[in-house]
Amino acid sequence: MSRVLVTGGAGYVGSHACKALAGAGHLPIVFDNLRHGHEWAVRWGPLVKGDIADRACLDAAILEWKPDAVMHFAAFAYVGESVSDPGRYYRNNVAGTLSLLEAMRDHGVDRIVFSSTCATYGIPHIVPIPESHPQQPINPYGAGKLMVERMLTDFAAAHGLRARALRYFNAAGADPQGEIGERHEPETHLIPLALAATDASSPLTIHGNDYDTPDGTCIRDYIHVCDLADAHARVLESMETMPSGFDAYNLGTGRGHSVLEVIAAAELAAGKPVATRIGPRRQGDPAVLVGDASRIRRELGWEPRHSDLGTMIGSAWHWSQHGEQR
């Protein structure tokens, strides 16, 4: 059994990764300040309450648990907020990660899987987007993730770090067993917002219906959070025999769904209509964002097994009705 320090492991994707790690025979040690995470989501290993910017707390956690590797999810993740308050994002997401990498270096922890994002690509000129696509982020959130990828590259060259970044598209759905799921404050993801809008008192705003797409609404690549979690576990295990260095994989399905398609699927899952209104486009929203994840499929045999739209939205609906409410 290997021990894995999971920063941000009480959050949405991080908690599902912890369940996948435990299922593969590893011990996830959650390191989370619980600012956006939830203590009820920590079910498969110990919780260390701490902030990645607190070097003393990181040192103490590593000395106590002696992890073999790190999965790094801890980050602020609201694109709009990153535009209005970039300093907060660079301080937490970039400077905080530097603190983590230096602690790993000083304690001899040499493997890290990093939660990156398709936002590092910016406005795509190739769809589906391959890993080789130029990285030209258009907001501080994406820029900060790209800075961390550069830091991982430099730490690998200087200190022998083995690092992989997973650039994923739109995480969706919830644990099929209903043990954990999505709970954000505020919520910004389309699927939970669409499901919430089955209550007509909270209509869903469709941000533009005049895009160059078949129905006029944006198209995105949605991937089930359990498929993301499985990919993280697979990548971590593949690194045991890999030499030092940095590399990155896309995580997506290679197919997209429009906002209106998501709404229709939400209505089918909930059995009632989604209240909507049309709003203006959001600045910087590409018409289509779809990822090419053929490389991780080819190299690691990963397949998204839960990522058809009906399954994702069905699991999200079940979680919204029966999930943890504390």
308 domain residue, yes or no: yes
Q: Are residues 136 and 126 in the same domain?
A: yes
Q: Are residues 8 and 140 in the same domain?
A: yes
Say what the pLDDT of residue 154 is.
98
Q: Are residues 8 and 99 in the same domain?
A: yes
178 domain residue, yes or no: no
Q: Are residues 117 and 266 in the same domain?
A: no
Q: Are residues 148 and 291 in the same domain?
A: no
Q: Judge whether 12 counts as a catalytic residue.
A: no
Q: Are residues 141 and 216 in the same domain?
A: no
pTM for this model (two decimals):
0.96
Say what the pLDDT of residue 51 is.
98
CATH code for the domain in which residue 268 is found: 3.90.25.10
Which of 141, 168, 211, 222 is flagged as catalytic? 141
Which residues of the chain fall below pLDDT 70? 324-326
Q: Are residues 156 and 295 in the same domain?
A: no
Crossing angle between the packed helical segments 225-238 and 12-23, to the nearest 10 degrees: 50
Q: Which residues pair with 302 in a beta bridge?
A: none
Say what the pLDDT of residue 324 is.
61
82 domain residue, yes or no: yes
Domain encompassing residue 73: 3-172+223-251
Q: Are residues 130 and 14 in the same domain?
A: yes
Q: Are residues 88 and 206 in the same domain?
A: no
- Interatomic CA distance for residues 186 and 252, integer angstroms: 25
The structural domain count of the chain equals 2
- Interatomic CA distance for residues 264 and 217, integer angstroms: 13
Q: Are residues 168 and 270 in the same domain?
A: no
Say what the pLDDT of residue 192 is.
95
